[in-house]
């Protein structure tokens, strides 16, 4: 078994005070850092993703322009490349991250599998090249990008766990629904780490 840790979108704009801040986002940054400090040896590969939207663009209709966002398909402007909101939260220590993925560059993208690495590869190819058989997923937001990333990971044929103490969601109801959906799809939910 070769396991990877996938850290989804622990960015300033998705934590408290950000354009789309979720309650508990900063705690996820701190807790993932503490978890990695203790458990880095459990992982052959650590991957972190960021929304990295294009400036001066609606990013394929992802950003609401001319009308209020519906918070389903359209969103306020967030995580624009080169802005502080797109950066990793300062409490997330990325010194142990092996691969960085940027997603949503001109198009809507929720799953880190829709992004590309700094070297231009897709994440599925990276996992295959590294011989990864199992992944643990943590990050923000449970009901959107964590959900999409975990389901896409499962679709690549690896075993998937979501470490629930290390995720935060937009809303309680949609986060619970996402957890049920992931479990029903065959993803293991790990409630204690």
**pTM exceeding 0.85:** yes
From first CA to last CA, the distance across the chain in angstroms is 19
Regions of the chain with pLDDT less than 70: none
> Residue 116 domain-assigned?
yes
Under DSSP, is residue 144 helix (H, G, I), strand (E, B) or coil? helix
* Catalytic sites, residue numbers: 9, 103, 145
Q: How far apart are CA 142 and CA 110, in angstroms?
A: 11
> Residue 179 domain-assigned?
no
Whose CA is closest to 71, among 62, 79, 80, 82? 62
Pairing state of beta strands 188-190 and 99-103?
A: unpaired
Task: Indicate the DSSP class of residue 89.
Answer: P
> Residue 165 domain-assigned?
no
Contact 133, 159 (CB under 8 A): yes
Give the domain range for residue 75. Answer: 3-137
Tens digit of each residue's pLDDT (9 = 90 or more) over 16-61:
999 999 999 999 999 999 999 999 999 999 999 999 999 988 989 8
> Residue 74 domain-assigned?
yes
Q: How far apart are CA 95 and CA 97, in angstroms?
A: 6
Q: How far apart are CA 62 and CA 76, in angstroms?
A: 9
Contact 30, 91 (CB under 8 A): yes
> Residue 9 domain-assigned?
yes
How many structural domains comprise the chain?
A: 1
> Residue 33 domain-assigned?
yes
Residue with tokens 């900063």: 26
Q: How far apart are CA 114 and CA 32, in angstroms?
A: 23
> Residue 25 domain-assigned?
yes
CATH number (domain holding residue 28): 3.40.50.850
> Residue 169 domain-assigned?
no
Widest Cα–Cα separation across the chain: 50
């Amino acid at each position: 078994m070769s396991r990877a840790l996938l850290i989804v979108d622990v960015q300033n704009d998705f934590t408290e005070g950000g354009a789309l801040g979720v309650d508990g986002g900063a705690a996820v940054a701190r807790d993932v850092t503490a978890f990695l400090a203790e458990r880095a040896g459990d992982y052959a590969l650590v991957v972190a993703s960021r929304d990295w939207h294009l400036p001066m663009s609606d990013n394929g209709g992802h950003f609401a322009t001319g009308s209020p966002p519906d918070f389903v398909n359209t969103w306020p402007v967030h995580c624009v490349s080169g802005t502080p909101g797109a950066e990793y939260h300062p409490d997330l220590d990325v010194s142990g991250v092996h691969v960085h993925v940027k997603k949503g560059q001109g198009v809507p993208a929720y799953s880190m599998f829709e992004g590309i690495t700094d070297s231009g590869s897709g994440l599925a190819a990276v996992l295959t090249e590294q011989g990864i058989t199992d992944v643990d997923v943590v990050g923000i937001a449970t009901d959107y990008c964590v959900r999409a990333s975990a389901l896409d990971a499962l679709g690549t044929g690896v075993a998937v766990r979501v470490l629930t103490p290390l995720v935060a969601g937009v809303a309680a109801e949609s986060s619970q629904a996402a957890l049920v959906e992931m479990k029903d799809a065959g993803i293991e939910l790990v409630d204690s780490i």
